[in-house]
Amino acid sequence: MRSIMQKVEVLKTIAHPVRIRILEELLKGVKCVSDFEDFLEISQPNVSQHLSLLRRQGLIDHYMDGRLRCYFLKDPIIPDLLEILKKDYIEELPAPACCPVTKKGTYPGTRHR
């Protein structure tokens, strides 16, 4: 099981527009740095920076393909997370029945919304 801090690390690592797009792209298959450079329209050093953060966190890995570096997904949590983020949720969660007992005792409650 991941510790709380490991969970936080994974989430923080993914929580960036460029990195989400990199991961979504890697879900489709292997890509090299210059592929991302075109696709994301950001500078090469910036692409490398994001890739190397993702790699440090163990979320992706790469192999050498001549002079290209081919990146691919490594941590199995990624496809699952991306799928949930893509999913359409229609309904909110059911609001709990009013009013469960809390530490301080129960009062007649009025719903906020």
Partner DNA sequence: TGCAAATATAATAATATTTGCATATATTAA
Partner DNA sequence: TTAATATATGCAAATATTATTATATTTGCA
Output the smallest distance, CB 23 to a copy of itself, in A.
11
Rounded CA-CA distance 34/46 in Å is 11
Which stretch in 58-66, 73-81, 83-91, 93-101 sits in contact with DNA by CB under 7 A?
58-66
Taking the least distance from each CB to a copy of itself, the nearer of 50 and 62 is 62
Site for a copy of itself in 34-93 (CB under 8 A): 34-35, 38, 61-68, 70, 72-81, 84-89, 91-93
What are the distances in angstroms from CA 56 to CA 9, 77, 93, 105, 113?
11, 15, 36, 48, 44
Please say whether the beta carbons of 36 and 24 come within 8 A: no
Taking the least distance from each CB to a copy of itself, the nearer of 29 and 45 is 29
Total residues at interface with DNA (CB under 7 A): 29
Which stretch in 26-34, 78-86, 87-95 sits in contact with DNA by CB under 7 A?
26-34
User: How many other C-beta atoms lie within 10 A of the C-beta of residue 72?
Assistant: 13
Amino acid at 113: R
Output the smallest distance, CB 85 to DNA, in A.
16
Q: Which does 28 bind (CB under 5 to 8 A by kind): DNA, a copy of itself, none?
A: none
Q: What would the two tokens of residue 13 be?
A: 């690592």
CA end-to-end span of the chain:
37
